[in-house]
Amino acid sequence: MISKMKEQQFETVNDAKWREVAVESLRGLPFEKLITKTLEGIDIQPLYTKEQTERDLGERQEELLKAIRAGKTSGDWTIAQRTYTTNGDQFISETKESLEKGNEAIVYDGSLQVEWNDENLSELAKLATQYPLYAYNVAEGDRFIEVYSLIDEADRKKVQGTFTGTAELPEGYHLVRTEVADTIDAHLKGADIVTELALVLAEAAERAQNYKSFTQFENKFFVRFAIDTHFFLEMAKLRAFRVLWQTFAKAYGHEKESRVPVFSETSLRTFSKLDPYVNLLRAGNEAFSAVLGGTDVLTVHPHDVIAEITPAGIRHARNIQLVIKEETFVDNVIDPAGGSYFIDTLTNEMVEKAWDVFLEIEEKGGYSQYVENGELDEKLKQLYDERVRKLSTREASLIGTNIYADLSNEIPETETLTVPNRLAEVFENLRKKYRVEQPNTVLLTFGQLKDFKARADFVAGFLATAGIEAKPSPAFASVDEAKKWIAENDFDYGVICAHPNEIEDVMSELTKDFPKDQWIDVAGKYDEATEKAWLDAGVSGFIYQGQDQLEKFAYIAKRWKEDDNNAKA
């Protein structure tokens, strides 16, 4: 038996054979059903193989890996956890505690301006000579700028970090980078990955003109990215930037390896006040993606940062990075994703698409002109609207928000950070609205539990995303029983839930004498003729997978208001 096993050989499976088997398993559906299309215009294939990668990339794969690794000297990154308080004493206290517990830098964002006093600023000046100080959005009039004046001129050469904003940095801070291509605002407004990468290059091209040499510019420049929940795409984004940057540098005659630091933070556009612990999963996913993609500096936002930040939220956010660093050992590897057929192919596609968009922006007059003529805002609005559409039709999901909503969760009234264009906000507003008052909604169920449970659960979950609670009726054994119950019970809105194989029989009986004075929908999607016949009989509408949720909720709100006004009249 052993000898026969040793002699056993397996047939080599190539891409063509794999595709043949995959198509057969789809039972008549097209192979394209397995392909995922992204906002970037990238088609994600169901499988990436050596054969395919060699065919599509060839020697290009080695060139990619070389360019990516040229931008990093180490797999390590700086843990740069932010402090969110607006009180100066508390800022110093929390910063010191954070540094003692594993944080490796001081982060200040002037968009959440702190009330400083002389003692606070003096303490911060001392810390700035010991740890990197990353300061963003420092406005004129913000007392934070005084920190730099408090540091002795001899010690200023020790200070490392970044400084951006309308305030002016004093002289002598040669290790502080002041030129940034910051994509976070565009990201929050809906930007896709290709747009973010192209904007970085366009802004860099404009800022580089202010320097005598590319080397001078390179030493002052850094980039900022927000990392979203699309794990592999975001990993490829940071790798693609490394490749693009080497090409960009060569275009300026810089033949040596060029390195500019990549600053990343977890994205807030997918954060939700609903079921905030899902934010913790999002942050962990995003942080690990940034690390594997090769970020140099990383900030992880607490899961409760949108509402009221707790000490536990701050600790969890910091520990995400500490756990990754201590448990995975990825900080010992430069480009841990390198060699993956999938990630390398994604990286290459992003590089090519981003470079083309960058050249388009340059042809239109460059970054500032592209912004001033409104083209960027128009593009970002289109992308944002498409993201909302995908959420509303459940092509994309925000767990706990547009799917698997938990009606027992309270929505916090407080708000630490106001994040524009946060995708969950429209659903949160619905939940707040229906928390006060909502239609008395019932699921009109037919048959045994096993017959209607799938559709009843779907409808209940669908309505729950708006905060509408749907309660089941008794399980009707017949249409006559249902008619009697409907006539005897008071409710505002009902949804008929029956097995797909039985719904037409149920409706053929029910529509003979449909209770037209009641607001009743049917669960499921049907052909045009069937829907028209049922609507003519008195059915109000339908609830089904792929339906635009926000459009349906707007209709429900309008219909309920009209019915309420009619009842009062």
Give the pLDDT score at 562. Answer: 78
Distance between CA atoms of residues 565 and 569, nearest Å:
6
Residue 146 CA, distance from chain mean position:
36
* Burial grade of 361 (CB within 10 A; 0-12, 13-18, 19 or more): buried
| Residue 241 near residue 197, CB atoms below 8 Å | yes
Residues sharing a CB contact under 8 Å with residue 56, sequence separation 6 or more, in sequence order:
345, 348
Residue 255 makes CB contacts below 8 A (sequence gap 6+) with none
The backbone region for 109, taken as left when phi is positive above 0, alpha when psi lies in -120 to 50, beta otherwise, is beta
pLDDT score at 13: 75
Residue for token digits 């900080």? 331
Work out whether the CA dihedral 225, 418, 111, 373 comes out positive or negative: positive
CA atoms within 13 A on the CB side of 64: 28
Q: Encode pLDDT of 120-176 as tens digits.
A: 999 999 999 999 999 999 999 999 999 999 999 999 999 999 999 999 999 999 999
Q: In 10 A of CB 61, how many CB atoms?
A: 19
Q: Are 537 and 511 spatial neighbours (Cβ–Cβ below 8 Å)?
A: yes
Length of the chain: 569
**pLDDT tens profile 70-127:** 988 899 999 999 999 999 999 999 999 999 999 999 999 999 999 999 999 999 999 9
Cα separation, 563 vs 569, whole angstroms: 10
* Alpha helices, H only, 228-276: 231-251
Report the C-alpha dihedral over residues 236, 242, 247, 251, rounded to 10 degrees. 140
pLDDT lower than 50: segments of the chain: none
> How many angstroms separate the CA atoms of 204 and 262, rounded?
13
**Distance, CA of 404 to CA of 414 (rounded, Å):** 24
As a whole number of angstroms, the distance between CA 414 and CA 533 comes to 49
Instruction: Identify the helix (H) or strand (E) that includes residue 181.
Output: strand 179-182
3-state SS class at 563: helix
Asked whether 146 and 121 are in contact (CB, 8 A), the reply is: yes
Please state the pTM of the whole predicted model.
0.92
The span from the CA of 5 to the CA of 2, in Å, is: 5
3-state secondary structure string, 98-126?
HHHCCCCCEEEECCCCCECCHHHHHHHHH
Taking the C-alpha atoms of residue 176 and residue 163, their distance in angstroms, rounded to an integer, is 7
Secondary structure (3-state) at 543: strand
Cβ proximity of 161 and 135 under 8 Å: yes
Question: CA dihedral in degrees (378, 180, 230, 455; nearest 10)?
Answer: -40
CA-wise closest residue to 129 among 188, 175, 167? 175
Kindly report the CA angle at 403 between 316 and 444, in degrees rounded to 5? 140
Report pLDDT for 565. 64
**Among candidate residues 275, 278, 253, 262, the one with its CA nearest the CA of residue 412:** 275
Task: Indicate the Cα dihedral angle 481, 486, 490, 494, nearest 10°.
Answer: 120
- Report the alpha-carbon distance of residue 541 to residue 532 in Å, rounded: 10
Q: For residues 413 and 443, is the Cβ–Cβ distance under 8 A?
A: no
